[in-house]
Amino acid sequence: MARSSSDSPPLFDLTVKPDFSFERKAMKRGLWPLAGLDEAGRGPLAGPVVAAAVILNPKRIPDGLDDSKRLTAEARETLFSAILGTAIGVSVASVSATGIDRINILRASLEAMRRAFCGLHVKPLHALVDGRDVPPGLACGAEALVKGDQRSQSIAAASIVAKVMRDRMMENCGRLHARYGFESHMGYATQRHRDAIGMHGALPRLHRVTFAPFRIETETAVEMLIEA
């Protein structure tokens, strides 16, 4: 007996691409304009966490929107220009390394997204947020989407804007502090970055001193003083 073919795609061949379905559902409920929110820079040892809020134009959505981590630097730059040229609203905000050390990276990421949202000149009636948490203090309802930058084109657009803007900030830091090579690793814990920290120490207001290895080194120094 011949088997009937399945109408389901093979599990491991499935590539999820962001679409506009979440936005359309919100529009049907009268929740428009809608902003996508995302951040870049939660993991690095140095630099700010940067967030973006984007209100796409439903009639002029750039082709190729995706999670910024799945795009090349060249593709991100091209899409960055396309987003700025077509979107109804774009806003960018950040929280510095000092702020991250003061309130922790999760709260700093949410605060950066809140600031980006508040910076939009068109006030959204709804927001889609990448991750598990909704930033407190938004002036509208919001929905958190795990891996939202791979599911929602509005969030994908925000991820691209945030990533490009943060990379540009870190490239500028690289020009100011050439010994650390920020333009090559964007503040992440590469071997080159760790070696530079070992040779030159942490930069005030730029390195996140509550992150390892700084925190570990501080705790070790305190323990040595206590034992002495």
Write down the domain spans for the chain: 15-224
Residue 213 has a pLDDT of 77
How far, in Å, CA of 207 to CA of 185, rounded? 13
Distance between start and end Cα atoms, the chain = 81
pTM: 0.88
CA distances (Å), origin 63, targets 18, 60, 79, 165:
11, 9, 8, 20
Residue 15 has a pLDDT of 64
Residue 14 has a pLDDT of 58
- Tell me which residue has tokens 């929110």: 37
83 with 157: CB under 8 angstroms?
yes
Residue 58 has a pLDDT of 98
Among 170, 184, 163, 183, which Cα is nearest to 76's? Answer: 163
- For domain 15-224, the question of CATH label 3.30.300.30 is answered with no
Among 76, 122, 113, 68, which Cα is nearest to 92's? Answer: 113
The mean pLDDT values, 10 residues at a time, for the chain of 228 residues are 46 74 97 98 97 98 97 98 98 98 97 98 98 97 97 98 98 97 96 95 95 63 34
